[in-house]
Amino acid sequence: MTLLFSDKQQNALNSIWILGIIVAFFQISNYFVDSYGPDTSFYGYLWQVQNWFLESLVFAWYFYKNKLITKAVLIQLLFIPYYIFKSDWSAFLDYHLDIENSMSIYNAMRFVTFFIPLICFAFFYYKTETKPAGISRLKSLIIPFCSALVFSYAVSSDPDSLYKYTGFITAESLYIKDIIVSIIFLVISFKTIAVLIGFLYLSNRAYSIKKLIYPIDHQAISNPFFKWGFMISYTILLLTIMDMVGSIFSISFSSSSLKITTISYILSYLIILIISGRFFGNLIQYRNYTLQKYLGVLNAISMLPILNLISFFVLLFVKKSTAPIGTYVEKLKKNRNIHLIIYAVITILYILYKYFGDPAEYREASIFYRIPVFIIAIVLLSRYKVSTKIVPFLVFIFLYYGDITEFFDFTEGYLSFFKGKILSFIWLGLSTSALVYYIIHYILYKSFYTEYFEEQDAEKFEQYIETFK
């Protein structure tokens, strides 16, 4: 494996489990303070202080671990105004000050208090790390700030937005509910730590767009790298999708127009989705190359929660093939065809289950059109690299074109305000859904595709596999 982290980054990672425990403690503590604490000013301030401390500590951790105490404390202090202005102060300003546009002033204050600590964090962090040679001054200013901005949205763990994950829990016993909620917050805390590790890893590649689009180098994937890479990238990918689904509706139907912070939030989450999805897909493929195994269907189910544990443990513990690389290459086409047949059978069974699982009066025969669509899609993805730029979007349009046109027709007759909000929801939803479909099909492509299927050059592919030894 090539060097993944600098010495200073490694210092921050060596005892990052301590940070994980601290974050988890305050996340769970905030839940109990909010749910069971008395409705008093003290508990309100306690909740806010804990929220400020846990989030600002994530930004300061790198500096604390490298004994840059002044910078760490300064970053945490700079986050205080932002958390103060998280509360709605516009009514307070209206009452105490005779000024107009108090809401605009309040939004400007939130904007400034949000970006100042990020600018300082980006400046301190990238000044501490060694900058690659040949980077222009403009690039060295823009990239650190943009990467810190994306990091800030990814690492955010505001309990107000996280409580939505607990809404489905209907346990009769409050103790059982509290245990389940605590587990959920443990997962979210792991996501926070995962994002920090991901930021440290990607910050070494941030100056090259190509290195971000291809976030793993062509090299053997060791057991430790695969284990942590799988858990980190999948957690970020899954929770990012869940968070975006919940946010689109509230953003679209907000009474205010889109703000700069809202636009940066949307773009940041789309970037996170793309990078984490592509990292996960490449990790699966390169692990197959390292093991000299073709595990098509097993690779594909790595996207499914719970079931992906099967893929995870197989890819982690299966022994590397001892056969010559030539033997591995010779069997590739046969293995691919077997896995494609298995995938097709699973697809047919799933569609039949969906069809017969519904009451007779709600069954629609049109669902069977999905069978050839899914099978043709996976065949193309397994053979052609260019298919990743076409197939996901064609599948998305085919599956949802009717629903989209019906939704547009549904808006006719509404007042312009509501119609505009519904259309905003549609466009945001469509963009996000199309991107999610792209990531899903990209992972499927990486699960079934090898360069040999397209180029048909066994010798060249054998040389390529040598790089994964």
Q: Worst-scoring range by mean pLDDT, 252-261, 287-296, 321-330?
A: 252-261
pLDDT at 411: 58
Q: Worst-scoring range by mean pLDDT, 139-153, 221-235, 245-259?
A: 245-259
Average pLDDT over residues 217-221: 91
Greater pLDDT, 122 or 419: 122
* Cβ burial 207-225 (10 Å sphere, 16+ → b, else e): beeeebeebbeeeebeeeb
Note the pTM of the prediction, 2 decimals. Answer: 0.88
Using 50, 70 and 90 to split pLDDT, how confident is the model at 210?
confident
Average pLDDT over residues 343-370: 89
Rounded Cα gap, residues 84 and 79, in angstroms: 9
pLDDT over 80 (residue 403): no
Q: State pLDDT tens for residues 282-296.
A: 999 999 999 999 999
Greater pLDDT, 388 or 267: 388
Greater pLDDT, 335 or 406: 335
Rounded Cα gap, residues 399 and 395, in angstroms: 6
pLDDT at 347: 94
Contact 462, 326 (CB under 8 A): yes
Using 50, 70 and 90 to split pLDDT, how confident is the model at 298?
very high
pLDDT over 80 (residue 412): no
Rounded Cα gap, residues 380 and 394, in angstroms: 12
Average pLDDT over residues 346-371: 88
Average pLDDT over residues 347-375: 89
Percent of the chain whose predicted confidence (pLDDT) is above 70: 83
pLDDT at 180: 79
The two tokens of residue 156 are: 């955010």
State the burial class of residue 59 (Cβ atoms within 10 Å of its Cβ: 0-12, 13-18, 19+): buried
Q: State pLDDT tens for residues 53-70.
A: 988 999 999 999 999 999
pLDDT at 315: 95
Greater pLDDT, 380 or 431: 380
**Nearby residues of 156 by Cβ (< 8 Å), 6 or more positions away:** 55
Using 50, 70 and 90 to split pLDDT, how confident is the model at 160?
very low
Rounded Cα gap, residues 341 and 335, in angstroms: 10
pLDDT over 70 (residue 364): yes
Residue among 313, 282, 150, 153 nearest 214 (CA): 282
pLDDT over 80 (residue 359): yes
To the nearest 10°, the Cα dihedral for 36, 39, 44, 50? -10
Rounded Cα gap, residues 396 and 51, in angstroms: 39
Rounded Cα gap, residues 248 and 266, in angstroms: 9
pLDDT at 173: 67
pLDDT at 384: 93
**Nearby residues of 271 by Cβ (< 8 Å), 6 or more positions away:** 150
pLDDT at 76: 94
Greater pLDDT, 418 or 237: 237
pLDDT over 70 (residue 91): no
Using 50, 70 and 90 to split pLDDT, how confident is the model at 45?
confident
Average pLDDT over residues 210-230: 92
Q: If you average pLDDT over each of 150-154, 219-223, 256-260, which comes out highest?
A: 219-223
pLDDT over 70 (residue 170): no
Greater pLDDT, 13 or 244: 13
pLDDT over 70 (residue 236): yes
- The secondary structure of the chain, three-state, reads CCCCCCHHHHHHHHCHHHHHHHHHHHHHHHHHHHHHCCCCHHHHHHHHHHHHHHHHHHHHHHHHHCCCHHHHHHHHHHCHHHHHCCCCCHHHHHHHCCCCCHHHHHHHHHHHHHHHHHHHHHHHHHHHCCCCCCCCHHHHHHHHHHHHHHHHHHHCCCHHHHHHHHCCCCCCCHHHHHHHHHHHHHHHHHHHHHHHHHHHHHHCCCCCHHHHHCCCCCCCCCHHHHHHHHHHHHHHHHHHHHHHHHHHHHHHCCCCCCCHHHHHHHHHHHHHHHHHHHHHHHHHHHHHHHHCCCCHHHHHHHHCCCCHHHHHHHHHHCCCCCCCHHHHHHCHHHHHHHHHHHHHHHHHHHHHHHHHHCCHHHCCHHHHHHHHHHHHHHHHHHHCHHHHHCHHHHHHHHHHHHHHHHHHHHCCCCCHHHHHHHHHHHHHHHHHHHHHHHHHHHHHHHHHCCHHHHHCCHHHHHHHHHCCC
Residue among 63, 66, 68, 54 nearest 21 (CA): 54
Average pLDDT over residues 99-119: 77
Using 50, 70 and 90 to split pLDDT, how confident is the model at 166?
low
The residue with tokens 């840059």 is 68
Greater pLDDT, 227 or 253: 227
Handedness of CA 201, 203, 208, 214 (dihedral sign): positive
